[in-house]
Amino acid sequence: MRASDADRDRIADQLREALAEGRLTPDEHSERLDAVYQAKTYAELAPIVADLPATGGSRPAPVVRDDLPAPQAGSPNLVAIFSGAERKGRWLVEPQTNVVSVLGGVELDLRQAVLAQREVNINVVAILGGVSITVPPGVRVVSSVASILGGCSLPPDDAVGADAPVIRLTGMALLSGIDVKRLAADASAGSGEIGGRDFHTRQRHLHREFREKQRAVHREFREQQRQLRRQQRDR
């Protein structure tokens, strides 16, 4: 079963505690830490801390979770053209995910997702559409999306370490919006069930919101054009 970045971080915490207590030398800690972040499965993680105590001080011991289902692998390409698409629950985020939204809406929920590697890239092409991305706390989000009469909104920075997982956003938003929000996972987030009516209601709301934004942008653009023409006539 593939390990998540959260699993690796728990083992890294246990190694840091062992180093602080003198159970590991700096060289041993560095060597084991490298092995942690190269591990892809639980079977590779478990031996790294097999000779260390399960608890230390008053802190709860980080444990390797083997009671979770394997993440569901799907196509790394999501396309919504005059429609909606979503990905949620415990799914495998490939190193490269491509999202296309043309007059449609896409929802990505990464709160229980498993990242294939420490840094993944989500490339978004949105034209008169909308993309909503939900990430958990402790994840760094970096955007280099090019916006043309559109925008990409990111949540406030979270207090994360230098080795925190990174979700990098690239692509283009043309008369579109990409909204990233940070929420903690809840019990219902991993159910994988969603009523079709609720999904379409959210999509209609998303489309209505972006149509209103697009009309406002168009009005502003036309007003700027009128001002330019008046200035040219005055000359």
Query: pLDDT tens, 150-159?
Result: 889 898 877 6
Query: pLDDT tens, 60-106?
Result: 433 444 455 556 667 889 999 988 899 988 888 888 999 999 988 99
Query: pLDDT tens, 29-43?
Result: 888 888 888 887 777
pLDDT-derived band at 168 (thresholds 50, 70, 90) equals: very high
Q: Where are the domains of the chain?
A: 1-68, 77-189
Percentage with pLDDT > 70 across the chain: 73
pTM over 0.75: no
Query: pLDDT tens, 2-11?
Result: 667 777 888 8
SS3 for the chain, per residue?
Answer: CECCHHHHHHHHHHHHHHHHCCCCCHHHHHHHHHHHHHCCEHHHHHHHHCCCCCCECCECCCCCCCCCCCCECCCCEEEEECCEEEECCCEEECCEEEEEEECCEEEEECCCCEECCCEEEEEEEEECCEEEEEECCCCEEEECCEEECCEEECCCCCCCCCCCCEEEEEEEEECCEEEEEECCCCCCCCCCCCCHHHHHHHHHHHHHHHHHHHHHHHHHHHHHHHHHHHHHHHC
When the pLDDT of each residue in the chain is averaged and rounded to a whole number, the result is 78
pLDDT-derived band at 165 (thresholds 50, 70, 90) equals: confident
